[in-house]
Structure 1
C-alpha cells in the first residue's frame, strides 16, 4: 500500500479546506500505476478502484498523482450534514443501498460515499435529493462513473 498525494486548487472561498489530499493505493502490474483503495473527500474525478499514474517527487519524498488511467465503475458522492439528527437515517439508507463511506476526524459533518457499480445510482440519487430538498443534507457529485450516468 502506498499513499499518493493529490494536489488541489483552493478557490477564493477556501474550498477545499486542504491543498493536498493523500489517498491510499495499491500497486498494479504496470509501472507507476496505482489502484485507489479509499474514497476521496476532496479530490474530484477519482473514485475507489480507479487506476491512476503516479510519479515520484523526490523533493517532497512522496508519490504524486500524475494522471488518470482507467475508471473502476465506482462513483463518489460527498454528503454534508446540515442537521446532525438525520445522520443515522442517512447512513442506514446508504447501507441498505449497498454503499460504504469514510469519515474524517477533522470534518465531522462530512461523508465520502463510495457507490459500487452494482448500485442503482438513479434510485439512490433521487433518495439523496429528497433529503437535500428537506434541508437535511447537501451533496456533491464528485465522480459519477459512465455506468451510473447511464442509469
Structure 2
C-alpha cells in the first residue's frame, strides 16, 4: 500500500482536478488538469504546489477550495480563495532552437517553470512575487512579436499587476 505523499512542510499532498472548458478548437488539448496541493488548516482548502499548464486564474502557492467528487473519486477545484503573489504565464516555443535562450533568461529573471514530455514546446512559468514583472513581460512581448514564442498570462497577481500601469484591473 502506498503512503500519502507529503510536502516540504510535512502536510499531506493531494491531486486536485481542474475541469477545463475549451477556449478554441483543440485548446486546451486536455479536458482535465490535475495539480498537486497541500492541505491547510481550513476544511477543503488546498495550497497549490505546482504551476498549471492549462488551468487559468491560479498560480503556485494560491489557496483554493475543493470539493470531493465521490463518483470520480477525486478532489475537484471549486473556487479560488486567495492569491500567493505568484503569477503564471505560459510560453509556447514557436522556434524550438530558442528554448535554451528562453530558459536561461527566465532563470536569470528569477522564474521557474515546468515542462511536460507530452507538450514539449510548452513551458508553465511561475513568476514569484519578488520578480519585477514589467521587464519580463516586455521581453516576452518582444519575442512574441518576433515569432519566437507565444505567451499567455494565465494568472497575474496583484503585485505584478501593480507593476504594469496599463494592465486591466480586476
TM-score with structure 1 setting the length: 0.98
**2: distance between equivalents of 1:43 and 1:11?**
11
State whether structure 2 residue 137 is matched by structure 1 residue 141.
Answer: no
How far did residue 127 of structure 1 move?
Answer: 1.1
- Give the secondary structure class of the aligned counterpart of 1:40: coil
State whether structure 2 residue 79 is matched by structure 1 residue 67.
Answer: yes
Aligned to 2:166: none
Larger Rg: 2
Alignment RMSD: 0.7
How far did residue 14 of structure 1 move?
Answer: 1.8
- How many pairs were matched up? 151
Of 110, 119, 128 in structure 2, the residue corresponding to residue 107 of structure 1 is 119
**1: distance between equivalents of 2:22 and 2:104?**
32
Flag as ranges the 4+ runs of structure 1 deviating above 4 A.
Answer: none
Alpha carbons of 1:74 and 1:20: their partners in 2 closer, same or farther (altered >3 Å)?
Answer: same
How is 1:39-118 mapped onto 2 (pairs within 5 angstroms)? 39-118=51-130
Q: Which has the higher contact order (CA 8 A, sep 6+)?
A: 1
- Give the secondary structure class of the aligned counterpart of 2:30: coil
- Give the secondary structure class of the aligned counterpart of 1:10: coil
**2: distance between equivalents of 1:86 and 1:137?**
9
